[in-house]
Structure 1
């Protein structure tokens, strides 16, 4: 395996925005760093957990918010690439970085090896409204959705789709500049709460039908496509729990082969000519027996280390092999791998216990194959994450307590 990758071609972990507790970034550093590939990473500060990984060659402190002008961000990436001194494989871990790399590829290819994705495509796929249109044109099921621009359209969308409703930030960059909801997803039970949330014209927001969780399963597809949307590796898995429950990041998942879902993902990528890394979220709707595409993230997903094929190739390794002109070993995915995102798994299991009245069966049956943070050969990131996560929770509890005291008579 070590001999497969070109150790003369470094990797740059490209990030836009402030999210220091991101285990997917650490996964990128570890998966290629362990194989001797030099890894450089954009980090928020010197003590970001990923910056402490023993597999990282260099952490480049470059705080960004996503509110900067794209040209300025592209200039920053170019400066970083020139400082590294060799053309890198750039691996985006957020939608904004993926869009920036695609739309400024003509300039950035001076320093970076990039997949030949159509420049406009990542932005369209990251936008929930245009993704819904793309799915309709490609014949890929997706939940009914609307993107209202006024309060009247918001009311009409709610009455058309029915309650409860799912609200999502509409697009990359706008979710950082003018977020409509905190986090990725919010469910509103009725029209009154919807209008209370948006007393004026709503910011960019997607209103989507809610598939009842009792009638649903959450599935994920991770894929790396070469030129023309041809998959070089494609994996499918079942999301067991998330945090916040049923609507947030993957807390625990298992790799399961799903040929129908794989065919849908491949058909979509070939149809639109997508090239690069992608993380697709699906919801299986038992009411009509369809897998419905919820999100298409045109970058590596936080839980990508859930998946490998039988040759030990994940999507990031496949990308490095492909962009350096090397063969990507073909083979079926390794079945039954279990991914656990430490600090998210405990509250998700507690929420399950509270609602279901029993311990989740996967805790008793399935032992983690891949942990997001804990790792014997790289312990410091887990220590840093625990300290920062504990501080984050403490600050939120203190704010909540102060708010409660302020509201007492």
Structure 2
């Protein structure tokens, strides 16, 4: 194996994020992969108890709670202040769509403090929007599920009848999911009555309706890549998603790295055609009914499970980004197949749901002892974030149980009174 390339330790990294999601393991992955290479890592955190703030690899923490409701210009001003406080030009690594859009659309101003991929300024917004992503795919010959972005309730009904039930509802745009969310998460609806009940009052929020591909006829695949100037792929990785939470729609909780040349080519060619530069996380569904991979989501930033993937030189998406933006060669080589990613405690309810619904154990594709397991939280050389996350997760579960019991009590009391 070729020795691991040395990253430029004189160019630090800033973990950039917009919105409140303190229990995010993808940001911790960024901190660890860069910190282990000896590069200073600065992190934006929601509060001083955010789990990533406890990582031994974090050089400096910037407590900057945001909601996504702020004016983008003011957010860019705050990022500039953070960049100036760091004191040297650094690489900003976004972990959410809003941060990626902000960095791209304000790149001229932010270039004072940050090294950024030379992607067209408006492209991340187009890709993060499910409606415009669908149009870009149609223009470039990339299959996607049938999609409809209704403007009013009449179109909502028409779309439901055109797509058929069940169908999938998603928030249409990056910023609107924080400001005027249509759904809390990707949601399946099974009939027209349920669809109309969700949007019974007020203006129709920005919602996207998508064809449902039956689980028994599909496989969920992921592609993580980094593209340099002009959309040239530097690294492209593919893997199979085994479980997620919520089931079949949420964050990946268990996945395995599997080389898929067809999918890698499809993703790389799309980025080349549209000129996308930067890290990206693409979700696909292989539809056995017509034998095609269909692009479901294009996230123009690092994905939460990016540490699943490395090539034989130890290069992941974030390291490739650092090498490229500092003018260094990104070593080419095949991906390391068989690596497994596990998202800690989120995989437990996912596995339980699988057993309850499928009445069998999940397929075991990763039992061989030589396979490497990348855990989202647990790590021998950096244990404190996992401890902080365990405490925070316990609080989250306790609040969920309390609210559930309260809602049931209220419902029973109302039923008794009626």
Q: Give the TM interval when normalised to the shorter protein.
A: over 0.9
Matched, 1:311 2:313: yes
Q: Deviations over 1:345-382 (max 9, x none)?
A: 11111111111212223287366610000000000000
Which runs of 5 or more residues in structure 2 are unaligned? none
Matched, 1:380 2:381: no
Cα RMSD over matched residues? 1.1
Q: Residues 340 and 366 of structure 2 are in contact (CA less than 8 Å); yes or no, is this contact kept in structure 1?
A: no
Q: Deviations over 1:107-143 (max 9, x none)?
A: 0000000000000000000000000000000000000
DSSP 3-state at the match of 1:5: coil
**Which residue number in structure 2 is paired with residue 360 of structure 1?**
362
Give how far 1:403 is off.
Answer: 1.0
Residues 120-131 of structure 1 aligned to structure 2 (within 5 Å):
120-131=122-133
Give how far 1:244 is off.
Answer: 0.7
Q: Deviations over 1:244-296 (max 9, x none)?
A: 11111101000000011011101100110000000000000000000000000
Matched, 1:105 2:112: no
Give how far 1:300 is off.
Answer: 0.1
Matched, 1:198 2:202: no
Q: Residues 221 and 262 of structure 1 are in contact (CA less than 8 Å); yes or no, is this contact kept in structure 2?
A: yes
**Which residue number in structure 2 is paired with residue 71 of structure 1?**
73
**Which residue number in structure 2 is paired with residue 294 of structure 1?**
296
Query: What is the distance in 2 between the residues matched to 1:362 and 1:51?
Result: 34
Query: What is the distance in 2 between the residues matched to 1:294 and 1:220?
Result: 10
For residue 92 of structure 2, the aligned residue among 65, 90, 93 is: 90
Matched, 1:252 2:246: no
Q: Residues 6 and 37 of structure 2 are in contact (CA less than 8 Å); yes or no, is this contact kept in structure 1?
A: no
Distance 1:131-1:159 versus aligned 2 partners, 3 A rule: same
Distance 1:364-1:36 versus aligned 2 partners, 3 A rule: closer
Query: What is the distance in 2 between the residues matched to 1:79 and 1:219?
Result: 39
Give how far 1:3 is off.
Answer: 5.3
Residues 10-409 of structure 1 aligned to structure 2 (within 5 Å):
10-183=12-185, 185-200=186-201, 201-362=203-364, 365=367, 369-408=373-412, 409=416
Query: What is the distance in 2 between the residues matched to 1:393 and 1:197?
Result: 26
DSSP 3-state at the match of 2:183: coil
Q: TM-score, normalised by structure 1?
A: 0.98
Q: Deviations over 1:38-70 (max 9, x none)?
A: 000100001100000001101100000001000
Q: Residues 340 and 368 of structure 1 are in contact (CA less than 8 Å); yes or no, is this contact kept in structure 2?
A: no
Q: Residues 113 and 323 of structure 1 are in contact (CA less than 8 Å); yes or no, is this contact kept in structure 2?
A: yes
Query: What is the distance in 1 between the residues matched to 2:18 and 2:366?
Result: 38
Distance 1:74-1:238 versus aligned 2 partners, 3 A rule: same
Query: What is the distance in 2 between the residues matched to 1:154 and 1:65?
Result: 29
Give how far 1:2 is off.
Answer: 6.0
Query: What is the distance in 1 between the residues matched to 2:409 and 2:49?
Result: 34
DSSP 3-state at the match of 1:16: coil
Query: What is the distance in 2 between the residues matched to 1:219 and 1:364?
Result: 16
Query: What is the distance in 2 between the residues matched to 1:322 and 1:392?
Result: 39
Distance 1:145-1:3 versus aligned 2 partners, 3 A rule: closer
Q: Residues 2 and 35 of structure 1 are in contact (CA less than 8 Å); yes or no, is this contact kept in structure 2?
A: no
Q: Number of residues paired by the alignment?
A: 408
Give how far 1:25 is off.
Answer: 0.2
DSSP 3-state at the match of 2:364: helix
Query: What is the distance in 2 between the residues matched to 1:264 and 1:362?
Result: 27
Query: What is the distance in 2 between the residues matched to 1:391 and 1:224?
Result: 36
Query: What is the distance in 2 between the residues matched to 1:194 and 1:44?
Result: 35
DSSP 3-state at the match of 1:83: helix
